[in-house]
C-alpha cells in the first residue's frame, strides 16, 4: 500500500496542536505578529493575525517565546534606520523552540531551543556584502516580534541549557556585539582595563564578559544607583558622568594613569573624544553606537599618539555567537533583564526602552 502524504497545512496544524500554546493551537495555522504601520512620525506597531507559511527547503519553523529590544529597534520604529519598513515585522532578537522542519533541514530537530542570529546569512568569517545583506527587523528582512517565524536553518543557534527563553532572547545583538568588540577584535586579556559607557544591554554584557575573563571593567552612568549595581556585577571602578563631566580624567585616575585597553564606544559624537582620551597605549576602541549622534570627527592624533586602533562593529557572525554561548555556558553567566513585558503590551516596552530607565535588557514574553 502506498504512503499518504499530508498537505503542508495539515502537518502544521498537527504540530501546533501538539506543541503550541492554547491560543496558537486554537488558531491552527494562524499566528499573531506586530507589523510596522506608517504614522505621522515614523511607524506604529500594528498587531495582525496572519497565516503561517509552510517551511521551504532548509527552513525551520520556530515558536518564539521571548524577544528583546535594542536601540536599533527604536531607530527602526522612528523611521530613521534603513529604507521603507512598512509592513515589516520589527525586532531582531528572539528565542524559542523549533516546531517544524522544511525539506533538507538538518541542523536542528523539533523541540530544540534556539535563538535567532541578527544576520540570517553571516555564518562565519569576515563580513561580506552578501553576509550582511539581510539583518532581521529592518527594511531588508522580517523580524521576530511574532508568535511564529519561518527562517533558514543557518540563521539560528542553540541556546545554553541554563538560560531561560527570556535570557536567551537578549543575546543576538547586544551580546554578540559586546563579544565581538572585546574578544574577536579586541583580544581581551586578563587584568586589562575595559571602559564601558552607560548601563544598557551592550555595556552590561561587556561588564559581565570582562569580569568573567578576569579583566577590570570601569563603567559610567548618570545614576549612582545603577553604578552600585554595576559594582555588584564586577566593575572595579565607576564614574558618574553628570557629577564628573570630564569623566575621562576619572577613568584614567582609576587606571593609575595608564589608560584603558578596551572601549565599547556606544555614545557617539559626544563620548568618543573622551573615550579616546581614556585610551592607554595599544588600546582598542570598538565603535558600536551613536546615542548622542553619529556625526562628528575622530581625533587622529589621539589614536596615533596612543598607538591605538578603532574597529567598527556591526554585531557579528553565527560562529561568533556560538563562541560567545560556549563562554556563557562555561562561566554560568546570566544576562541581566531589567523588565519583562507581555506580548500585548509590546508598544509599552518600546516606550520604556526609550525612557532610558533600564539597566540591562528589556524583554517581551510571548
Same domain, 14 and 28: yes
Same domain, 303 and 325: no
Euclidean distance between CA atoms 236 and 218, whole angstroms: 6
Helix then strand then coil, in percent of the chain rounded to 5, is 30, 25, 40
pLDDT of residue 268: 67
Same domain, 270 and 334: no
pLDDT of residue 301: 59
Same domain, 64 and 126: yes
Any residues with CB less than 8 A from the CB of 16 and at least 6 apart, and which?
24, 25, 27, 28, 29, 99
Q: In terms of Cα–Cα distance, which of 138, 110, 107 is closest to 11?
A: 110
pLDDT of residue 299: 63
pLDDT of residue 16: 42
**Apex CA 188: angle with CA 184 and CA 190, to 5°?**
150
Same domain, 54 and 165: yes
Residue 1 in any domain: the answer is: no
Strand partners, 47: 34
Residue 181 in any domain: the answer is: no
Same domain, 249 and 107: no
Per-residue pLDDT tens listing for the chain (366 residues): 333 333 444 334 434 443 443 333 333 588 999 999 999 889 999 999 999 999 999 999 999 999 999 999 999 999 988 778 899 999 999 999 999 999 999 999 999 999 999 999 999 999 999 999 999 998 788 999 999 999 999 999 999 999 999 999 999 999 999 999 999 999 999 999 999 999 999 999 999 999 999 999 999 999 999 999 999 999 999 999 999 999 999 999 999 999 999 999 986 667 888 999 999 999 999 999 754 445 555 666 556 556 578 889 999 999 999 999 999 999 999 999 999 999 999 999 999 999 999 999 999 999
Residue 3 in any domain: the answer is: no
pLDDT of residue 196: 97
Same domain, 256 and 338: no
Euclidean distance between CA atoms 289 and 264, whole angstroms: 9
Same domain, 134 and 250: no
pLDDT of residue 18: 39
pLDDT of residue 226: 96
Euclidean distance between CA atoms 172 and 234, whole angstroms: 23
Euclidean distance between CA atoms 227 and 212, whole angstroms: 18
Give Rg (Cα) of the chain. 21
Residue 50 in any domain: the answer is: yes
All three cell numbers of 19: 506543541
Count CA within 13 A, CB hemisphere, residue 324: 34
DSSP 78-94: HT-SSS--TT----SEE
**Apex CA 88: angle with CA 85 and CA 92, to 5°?**
100
206: containing domain: 186-312
pLDDT of residue 319: 98
Same domain, 260 and 321: no
pLDDT of residue 82: 75
All three cell numbers of 298: 575622530
- pTM value surpassing 0.85: yes
Same domain, 20 and 104: yes
CATH number at residue 297: 3.40.50.720
Euclidean distance between CA atoms 177 and 201, whole angstroms: 10
Same domain, 27 and 153: yes
CATH number at residue 128: 3.90.180.10
Residues shown for the chain: 366
Same domain, 345 and 302: no
Q: Into how many domains does the chain fold?
A: 2
Residue 180 in any domain: the answer is: no
Euclidean distance between CA atoms 201 and 257, whole angstroms: 28
All three cell numbers of 46: 500594528
Amino acid at each position: 500500500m502506498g504512503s499518504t502524504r499530508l498537505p503542508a497545512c495539515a502537518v502544521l496544524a498537527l504540530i501546533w496542536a501538539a506543541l503550541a500554546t492554547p491560543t496558537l493551537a486554537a488558531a491552527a495555522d494562524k499566528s499573531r505578529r506586530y507589523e510596522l504601520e506608517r504614522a505621522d512620525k515614523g511607524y506604529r506597531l500594528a498587531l495582525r493575525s496572519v497565516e503561517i507559511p509552510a517551511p521551504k527547503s532548509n527552513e525551520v519553523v520556530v515558536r518564539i517565546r521571548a524577544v528583546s529590544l535594542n536601540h536599533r529597534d527604536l531607530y527602526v520604529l522612528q523611521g530613521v534606520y534603513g529604507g521603507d519598513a512598512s509592513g515589516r515585522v520589527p525586532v531582531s532578537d528572539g528565542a524559542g523552540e523549533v516546531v517544524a522542519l522544511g525539506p533538507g533541514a538538518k541542523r536542528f530537530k523539533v523541540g530544540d531551543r534556539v535563538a535567532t542570529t541578527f544576520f540570517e546569512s553571516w555564518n562565519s568569517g569576515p563580513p561580506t556584502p552578501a553576509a550582511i545583506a539581510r539583518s532581521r527587523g529592518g527594511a531588508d528582512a522580517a523580524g521576530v516580534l511574532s508568535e511564529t517565524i519561518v527562517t533558514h536553518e543557518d540563521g539560528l543557534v542553540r541556546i545554553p541549557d541554563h538560560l531561560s527563553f527570556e535570557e536567551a532572547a537578549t543575546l543576538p545583538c547586544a551580546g554578540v556585539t559586546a563579544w565581538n568588540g572585546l574578544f574577536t577584535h579586541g583580544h581581551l586579556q586578563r587584568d586589562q582595563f575595559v571602559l564601558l559607557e552607560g548601563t544598557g544591554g551592550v555595556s552590561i554584557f561587556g561588564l559581565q564578559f570582562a569580569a568573567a575573563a578576569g579583566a577590570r571593567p570601569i563603567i559610567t552612568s548618570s545614576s549612582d544607583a545603577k553604578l552600585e549595581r554595576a559594582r555588584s556585577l564586577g566593575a572595579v571602578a565607576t564614574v558618574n558622568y553628570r557629577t564628573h563631566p570630564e569623566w575621562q580624567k576619572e577613568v584614567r585616575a582609576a587606571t593609575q594613569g595608564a589608560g584603558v585597553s578596551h572601549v565599547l564606544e556606544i555614545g557617539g559624537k559626544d563620548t568618543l573624544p573622551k573615550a579616546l582620551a581614556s585610551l592607554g597605549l595599544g588600546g582598542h576602541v570598538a565603535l558600536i553606537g551613536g546615542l548622542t549622534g553619529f556625526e562628528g570627527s575622530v581625533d587622529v592624533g589621539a589614536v596615533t599618539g596612543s598607538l591605538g586602533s578603532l574597529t567598527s562593529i556591526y554585531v557579528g557572525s553565527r560562529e561568533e555567537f556560538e563562541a560567545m554561548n560556549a563562554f556563557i555556558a562555561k562561566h554560568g553567566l546570566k544576562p541581566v533583564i531589567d523588565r519583562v513585558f507581555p506580548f500585548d503590551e509590546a508598544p509599552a516596552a518600546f516606550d520604556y526602552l526609550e525612557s532610558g530607565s533600564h539597566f540591562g535588557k528589556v524583554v517581551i514574553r510571548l
